[in-house]
Amino acid sequence: MSSPILALAGVTKSIDTGTHRVDILRGIDLEIRPGEFVAIMGASGSGKSTLLGLLAGLDSPTMGTIQLDGEDIARLAEDRLADIRGRKIGFVFQSYQLIPTLTAEENVLLPAELAGENGRDTLDRARALLDRVGLSERRDHYPVQLSGGEQQRVALARAFMRRPPLLLADEPTGNLDSTNGRQVLELLLNLNRDEHTTLVLVTHDRELAGYASRIITLKDGLIVSDERPGTPA
C-alpha cells in the first residue's frame, strides 16, 4: 500500500477568545492516501473549514502533527511552508477568491508567476486550463465581468495550474445554483481524475459526497464516522 499523502495524529485546535477557550478540533487522527477522493461532512460549526485550513498549512494546530508527504507542516517556518503550499497544494474556496485587479488569465497564471515560472509552457498551460473550463473567450475579463459559476471555473483552473498533488476544496459549489454547481463539480472531478490529484472536499451536499471514495463526518470537532461507500463491508 502506498504511504499516505496526509497523516494527522492527535490534532487539536483551540482558540482563546479572551474570556473563554473554544475547542474547535478535539483530537483528529486521519490518514489519506494518494488518489483518494475524501468528502468531509458535518453540521455547521463542526470544524470542517478549520480542519481544511490546517491541511492547507494556512493555520497551525494547538497540538498534534500534520504530515504532508512525510513532512510535519505544523511546525515549519512560514517561508518553507509557503514553498510547500505553492508546489503541493491547490485550493478552491466557496467565495472564489480571485484577485479583482487581474484578468481571468492572469489569475490562472498567478501561482506559476509567484514561483518564478513565466515561460511559453506556462502560458500554454494556463490557456489550456481556461479552455478546459470553457472560458477561452473570457480570458481577458476581470472577475466582476464574470458570473459566479465562471469565477469558480477560473478558480479551478488556477488551483490546478501547478499540478498540485493535493487539492483542497471548501464548499466549492456552495454559492452556486444547481446548474452551475453541477458544472463546476463535473469539471472538478474530471480535472481531479485526469491530473491524478488527491481531493479533499468539504460539502453539505450528500449527493455530491456520493461521488467520493470516502466520506468523513465531523461532529463537535471529532471524526464520528469514516465510510467508504461502494466498498463491501
Ligand X SMILES: Nc1ncnc2c1ncn2[C@@H]1O[C@H](COP(=O)(O)OP(=O)(O)OP(=O)(O)O)[C@@H](O)[C@H]1O
Residues lying near Mg ion in the complex (CB under 5 A) are found at: 49
Q: How far is the CB of 90 from ligand X (least distance, A)?
A: 19
Q: How far is the CB of 143 from ligand X (least distance, A)?
A: 23
- Nearer to Mg ion among residue 13 and residue 162 (C-beta): 13
The answer for residues whose C-beta is within 8 angstroms of residue 188's C-beta and 6 or more apart is: 92, 156, 169, 172, 199, 201
Name residues contacting ligand X, limited to 8-37 (CB under 6 A): 15, 17, 22, 24
CB of 175 to ligand X, least distance (A): 12
Whichever of 42 and 57 has its CB closer to ligand X, that residue is 42
- The answer to whether the beta carbons of residues 168 and 15 sit under 8 Å apart is no
Nearer Cβ to ligand X, position 48 or 162?
48
Query: Which of residues 143 and 221 has its CB atom nearest to ligand X in the complex?
Result: 221
* DSSP letter string, 99-151: -TTS-HHHHHHHHHHHTT--SHHHHHHHHHHHHHTT-GGGTT--GGGS-HHHH
CA dist 22 and 13 (Å) reads 8
Give SS3 for 124: helix
| Residues 161 and 113: beta-carbon distance below 8 Å | no
SS3 45: coil
Selected binder of ligand X within 5, 6, 11, 48 (CB under 6 A): 48
Cross-sheet strand order for the sheet of 63-68: 21-32, 6-16, 63-68, 71-72
Q: Which residue is nearest to Mg ion (CB)?
A: 49
Q: Is 125:97 a contact under the CB 8 Å cutoff?
A: no
Q: Judged by CB under 6 A, does residue 224 bind ligand X?
A: no
Closest CB to ligand X among residues 165, 174 = 174
Q: DSSP state, 140? A: T
Residue 17 binds which of Mg ion, ligand X, none (CB < 5-8 A, kind-dependent): ligand X
Distance in angstroms (rounded) separating the CA atoms of residues 103 and 15: 37
**Comparison of 49 and 183: residue with beta carbon closer to Mg ion:** 49
Q: Phi and psi (nearest 5°) for 48? A: -60, -50
When asked if residue 49 is in the footprint of ligand X (CB under 6 A), the reply is yes
Q: CB 192 → ligand X: shortest distance, Å?
A: 21
Work out whether 42 is an interface residue with ligand X (CB under 6 A).
Answer: yes
Q: Shortest Cβ distance from residue 91 to ligand X (Å)?
A: 14
Query: What is the binding site for ligand X (CB under 6 A)?
Result: 15, 17, 22, 24, 42, 44-50
